[in-house]
Amino acid sequence: MASPSPKKLQPPNANNPPKPDLHDQPPSAWLMALELRAFWEFSSLLPAWPVLNKAPKGDGHAVLVFPGLSANDVSTVPLRYYLQSLNYKPWGWEQGFNFGPRTGVMEVAKSNLQRTFDSTGRKVSLIGWSLGGVYARELAKQMPHMVRSVITLGTPFAGSYKATNAWRVYQLASGRNIEREAASYDLPSAPPVPTSSIYTRTDGVVAWQASIQAPSSTHGQTENIEVIASHIGLGLNPSAWWAVADRLAQAEGSWQPFARADKGHKGRLHGLLYPDQKR
């Protein structure tokens, strides 16, 4: 009996793009233990408020904010309150607890985006914390004409499911097979709109490498912004909030990368709060 012929490897092309190497190691147990810092990050918001209030004001456009795994809109109330104080119209995702993209979840998210776009007559910015950032990115890929920008906070899109310490919680909460589900999405590809990934190298839940957006091959409006924070505290961290406000305040159609450091005292302070990613 003749042995079967080996499969021929297809060269990379537009129809058969090469698969990216996905980070597959979760954060260490030590970093996971350091997630308790989130309480300190939340308590730092009050003393930081006078500075946060000096962030550039918004133009009144709507912002949809998606919570992380097993969290609901209550977890994003502080951030949404801050955005409202800067003259935005922030909304929660309005679907209760985030237990993964179960049947109907993405359909409701699309409907909410459509409704917000229609009612305001303007493009909507999307912010997603952790798993919520996956929704934001995928919505922007499917409905880019309605999305002004995407900002994610500690979102795992450039790693395998093993690059987090929460994948078992995800499977338990969602009742879905995460390996099979991840294979059905092209998570590493950037949305075709301005996209900012805010991450921390001391993330104890998601490996920071899994939150690094590779340069887009179709547009140059992608970036990674490093802050000093915990994963649980990213949505309550003053440095992350300032970066979010700075990104949202850009005029539509005139996107520029985040300036982590300028000349002068303010620039030096920025350099401390936002580490040099090339270090």
Does residue 154 lie in a domain region?
Answer: yes
List alpha helices for 16-154, DSSP H: 29-33, 38-43, 45-52, 77-85, 105-120, 131-142
pLDDT in tens, 49-92: 999 999 999 999 999 999 999 999 999 999 999 999 999 999 99
User: What domain count does the chain have?
Assistant: 1
List alpha helices for 86-229, DSSP H: 105-120, 131-142, 167-174, 178-183
Could you give the C-alpha distances from 127 to 130, 165, 196, 218, in angstroms and in order? 10, 22, 10, 22
Domain that holds residue 152: 29-251+262-273
Instruction: Give the pairing of strands 222-226 and 124-129.
Output: unpaired
Does residue 163 lie in a domain region?
Answer: yes
The amino acid present at 224, given as its one-letter code, is N
Does residue 22 lie in a domain region?
Answer: no
- Residue 159: strand, helix, or coil: strand
Does residue 256 lie in a domain region?
Answer: no
pTM value is 0.86
Does residue 194 lie in a domain region?
Answer: yes
pLDDT in tens, 47-56: 999 999 999 9
Kindly report the CATH number assigned to the domain that includes residue 68: 3.40.50.1820
The residue that leads in pLDDT, 138 or 217, is: 138
